[in-house]
Chains A and B, each alone.
Chain A
């Protein structure tokens, strides 16, 4: 599906630009897009390096494992098949906690680390395992306590009550997270991997 969307974006963009007689826009957009792709990655380097450093300390101290044990009932329900005390569980938990506290940038390295651990359990290295899909679902549903950026923007436009959307965001995010979990569980049941995939 990603393949289809990718191709669709490029072909549709090309066709529309051609019909409007502004094909030069495509060239410009290609270089703009490529540039911002690299810029975003370089922005990620500093955060990734720092947080992975801190997380390694936590791992060496046994904190990730302790956290995984603490929250294991929920995680085990969401991720059946991951062995007890596997480091992936710790990273998944840190990723989820960081998301909840709105530490989006801190959540990404932990999420990637969790994916790397899940990849070790994955028998098909180029196909996403069910556990990976679940982790992704939790991340895209984006459980949020404080939509910090939005409050800041609303403040700058003189809102009478910039934080009034905290409640609505919480409810909406709760509903979409619940939907993500249910839809994921549903797909997981119908998913027949080749041969049995654990996780």
Chain B
């Protein structure tokens, strides 16, 4: 199963990149002109995201570098240990929705510290793989189209992150114990 899935991952992008222009050429689409036309939007879109990303990254960076994040996590540790969640995992719950690179760094650190085949290592890997950087996704997607009021999107994103987090812990205990 893993080999099969791995095969799909390796072939997916090359196949897409060959199939789309080939099919388009068959449909008499001027492929190169079409490509350049669409590609123009890419630059504008990426540039338009800069203010949003800079704003969010600055706030996160200040929050982390000052030690405020460590303090915040410190308060929640006793509670989590009470309900049987490894306390080493807790920072990941807060980092994951906020920063993809930051949480990946934290997961890597946990894996190196406890070993990839430890329960902490497995849970961290599962969390990192099964959830996404909600704030980044909101920033990029809504920033690109100028949405200022995110509606209930943030709540839904954070709730599903929390569910993913809890599910990862429960599933890991069920599978690996």
Counting from the closest, the 7 A-B pairs by CB-CB distance are A56-B38, A147-B129, A33-B61, A176-B164, A53-B39, A49-B42, A37-B54
* Interface of chain B: mostly helix, strand, loop or mixed: helix
Instruction: State whether A128 and B147 are in contact (beta carbons under 8 Å apart), knowing that A6-B59, A45-B42, A166-B5 are contacts in the complex.
Output: yes
Q: How far is the CB of B48 from chain A (nearest CB, A)?
A: 9
Q: Which residues does chain A contribute within 8 Å of B151, judged by CB atoms?
A: 127-130, 132-133, 191
Contact (Cβ within 8 A) A147 B154: no
Q: How far is the CB of B96 from chain A (nearest CB, A)?
A: 10
Contact (Cβ within 8 A) B167 A112: no
Looking across the interface, which residue of chain B has its beta carbon closest to that of A117? B145
Q: Is A72 an interface residue (CB 8 A)?
A: no
Contact (Cβ within 8 A) B61 A52: no
Contact (Cβ within 8 A) B38 A45: no
Give the interface size class of chain A. 35 or more
Q: How many contacts between A and B, using CB within 8 angstroms?
A: 367
Instruction: State whether A16 and B67 are in contact (beta carbons under 8 Å apart), knowing that A150-B129, A166-B2, A179-B163 are contacts in the complex.
Output: yes
Complex-state Cα separation, A144 to B131, whole angstroms: 9
Q: Interface residues, chain B, CB within 8 Å of chain A?
A: 1-2, 5-6, 8-9, 12-13, 16-17, 20-21, 23-24, 27, 29, 31, 34-39, 41-43, 45-47, 49-50, 53-68, 71-72, 97, 101, 104, 107-108, 111-112, 115-117, 121-122, 125-135, 137-138, 140-142, 144-157, 159-161, 163-164, 167-168, 171-172, 175-176
Contact (Cβ within 8 A) B157 A140: yes
Q: Is A103 an interface residue (CB 8 A)?
A: yes
Other than the given A61-B20, A61-B24, 8 more pairs (CB < 8 A) read A15-B68, A30-B62, A40-B57, A108-B140, A141-B132, A164-B117, A168-B176, A180-B159
Q: Which residues does chain A contribute within 8 Å of B16, judged by CB atoms?
A: 54
Complex-state Cα separation, A22 to B64, whole angstroms: 13
Contact (Cβ within 8 A) B63 A168: no
Q: Give A148-186 interface residues, CB cut-off 8 Å to B.
A: 148-150, 153-154, 157-173, 175-177, 179-180, 183-184
Complex-state Cα separation, A169 to B62, whole angstroms: 31
Q: Is A17 an interface residue (CB 8 A)?
A: yes
Q: List 20 A-B contacts (CB under 8 A).
A: A16-B66, A17-B67, A26-B65, A26-B66, A45-B46, A48-B42, A57-B29, A57-B35, A61-B27, A125-B147, A132-B142, A132-B153, A133-B150, A140-B161, A145-B5, A146-B6, A147-B128, A150-B128, A172-B126, A177-B160
Complex-state Cα separation, A55 to B161, whole angstroms: 29
Q: Give A38-54 interface residues, CB cut-off 8 Å to B.
A: 38, 40-42, 44-45, 47-54
Instruction: State whether A13 and B129 are in contact (beta carbons under 8 Å apart), knowing that A168-B171, A191-B152 are contacts in the complex.
Output: no
Complex-state Cα separation, A9 to B21, whole angstroms: 46
Q: Which residues does chain B contribute within 8 Å of A142, judged by CB atoms?
A: 130-132
Complex-state Cα separation, A17 to B16, whole angstroms: 49
